[in-house]
């Protein structure tokens, strides 16, 4: 539960409730948290639990979710949302909880036998999961704040010379900030889920209307896609590919002939860079190779070649004949 809540806060810390369905993301975070904590559950089980809670809140007849097209669509949405959460978090899903830290700190303060202090600190820690303090502070600081707030409520004195929380690397400003966030949570009015979803749906329709109006006015390009999908928009082709200047074959041939004429007449000698440029513009025609079977060597060349071969063989055999003698 705690892991799913922290993943939920991490995702919506950078995303909007208007563009992404909170209920679908909550199911995806719960499914992902079950895998992280090595207690995997099926997607159908998660869907049935949320379906049961929705029916219980609306006083409807409770029953399992039917295996129809709606079930297949919601299952696909949960799987896509799980992938989206992993992508947005960069697959960094490690979560450190302050449950064991609270017990360890109370043992250091020799207050582990005070069950009221331990239970109240545990309750404040669970309630703080409904806020964003776990995204702004470390688990050790949150644990110190829960102990600090519980000790103030129960009026239990703790060491203050020096302050006990300095031993655990926390500051008084951070403890006061976390305590204020937790206490403000109890002053919020309870809103029904249906009313919140209705408000979000109205805001989503307003944004869609603004987007469509700006698209018709030409302020938004036609290739741009809305951000509510799970696939990134395709990039347009590079404009540099369409701006290449292609010379015609006739112009290249005329440039090559001009270069040859100037060089042959001797009036102007081209530099090597100019010659290379001409060679790049017009490729030289391929040279025909004379095959050995077609070429007929001259008689003198053949005789000299045979004579050299016989002299090499005679020089190779000469040491062996001298050794035998």
Contacts of residue 103, defined as CB under 8 A and 6 or more positions apart, other chains included, come to: 112, 118
State the pLDDT at residue 278.
Answer: 55
Is the pLDDT confidence value at 295 over 50?
no
Residue 255 lies in a domain: no
Q: Which residue has the higher pLDDT, 116 or 276?
A: 116
> Which of 187, 217, 245 is the endpoint of a domain?
187
Average pLDDT over residues 202-220: 82
Same domain, 75 and 104: no
Q: Which 3 state secondary structure label does DSSP give 160?
A: strand
How many domains are contained in the chain?
Answer: 2
Same domain, 108 and 147: yes
Same domain, yes or no: 6 and 80: yes
* Summary mean pLDDT of the chain: 79
Nearest Cα to Cα of residue 50 among 193, 186, 223, 245: 193
The per-residue pLDDT for 273 is: 59
CATH number of the domain residue 80 falls in: 1.10.472.10
Instruction: Report yes or no: 82 and 32 within 8 Å, Cβ to Cβ.
Output: yes
Same domain, 6 and 68: yes
Residue 29 domain-assigned (yes or no): yes
Q: Which comes out higher in pLDDT, residue 320 or 178?
A: 178
Contact 78, 32 (CB under 8 A): no
Q: What is the pLDDT of residues 53-99, one digit of tens each?
A: 888 776 666 677 888 898 999 999 999 999 999 999 999 998 888 88
The pLDDT value recorded for residue 290 is: 53
Q: 219 pLDDT band (50/70/90 cuts)?
A: low
Task: pLDDT band for 241, please (50, 70, 90 cuts).
Answer: very low
Encode pLDDT of 103-129 as tens digits: 999 999 988 888 999 999 999 999 999
* Position 231 pLDDT exceeds 80: no
Confidence of residue 288 (pLDDT cuts 50, 70, 90): low
pLDDT 10s digits, 169-203: 999 999 999 999 999 999 988 888 778 888 888 88
Name the domain boundary from 187, 222, 251. 187
Supply the pLDDT for residue 217: 79
Across the range 239-252, mean pLDDT stands at 52
Indicate if 85 and 3 belong to the same structural domain.
yes
> Does 241 reside within a domain?
no
Tokens (6 digits) for 201: 């749906």
Both 125 and 157 in a single domain?
A: yes
Residue 33 domain-assigned (yes or no): yes
Q: So what's the pLDDT on residue 279?
A: 56
Boundary (domain end) residue, out of 160, 187, 214: 187
Smallest CA-to-CA distance from 26 within 6, 41, 44 is with 6
**Considering only 10-24, 73-87, 225-239, 270-284, which range has the smallest mean pLDDT?**
225-239
- In the chain, the percentage of residues whose pLDDT exceeds 70 is 69
- Which letter, b or e, does each residue of 295-304 get, where b requires 16 or more Cβ atoms within 10 Å of its Cβ? eeeeeeeeee
Pure H helices in 89-216: 99-108, 115-127, 133-136, 139-154, 172-185, 193-216
Q: Determine the structural domain holding residue 162 and report its residue range.
A: 98-187
């Amino acid at each position: 539960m705690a892991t799913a809540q922290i993943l939920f806060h991490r995702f919506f810390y950078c995303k909007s409730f208007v563009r992404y369905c909170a209920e679908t993301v909550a199911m995806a975070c719960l499914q992902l948290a079950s895998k992280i904590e090595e207690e995997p559950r099926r997607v159908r089980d998660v869907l049935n639990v949320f379906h049961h809670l929705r029916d219980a809140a609306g006083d409807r007849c409770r029953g399992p979710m039917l295996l129809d097209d709606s079930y297949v669509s919601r299952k696909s949405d949960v799987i896509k949302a799980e992938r989206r959460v992993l992508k947005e978090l960069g697959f960094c899903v490690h979560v450190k909880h302050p449950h064991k830290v609270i017990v360890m700190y109370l043992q250091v303060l020799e207050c582990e036998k005070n069950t009221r202090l331990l239970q109240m600190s545990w309750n404040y820690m669970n309630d703080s999961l409904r806020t964003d303090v776990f995204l702004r502070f470390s688990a050790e600081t949150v644990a110190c704040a829960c102990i600090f707030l519980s000790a103030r409520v129960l009026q239990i004195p703790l060491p203050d010379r020096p302050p006990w929380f300095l031993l655990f690397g926390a500051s008084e400003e951070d403890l006061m900030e976390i305590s204020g966030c937790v206490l403000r949570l109890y002053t919020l009015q309870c809103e029904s889920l249906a009313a919140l979803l209705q408000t979000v749906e109205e805001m989503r329709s307003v944004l869609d209307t603004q987007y469509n109006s700006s698209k018709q006015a030409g302020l938004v390009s036609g290739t741009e896609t809305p951000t509510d999908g799970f696939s990134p928009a395709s990039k347009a082709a590079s404009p540099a590919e369409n701006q290449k200047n292609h010379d015609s074959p006739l112009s290249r041939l005329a440039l090559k002939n001009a270069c040859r004429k100037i060089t042959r007449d001797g009036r102007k000698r081209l530099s090597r860079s100019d010659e290379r440029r001409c060679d790049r513009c017009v490729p030289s025609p391929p040279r025909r190779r004379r095959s050995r079977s077609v070429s007929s060597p001259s008689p003198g060349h053949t005789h000299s070649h045979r004579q050299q071969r016989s002299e090499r063989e005679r020089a190779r055999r000469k040491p062996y004949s001298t050794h035998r003698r």
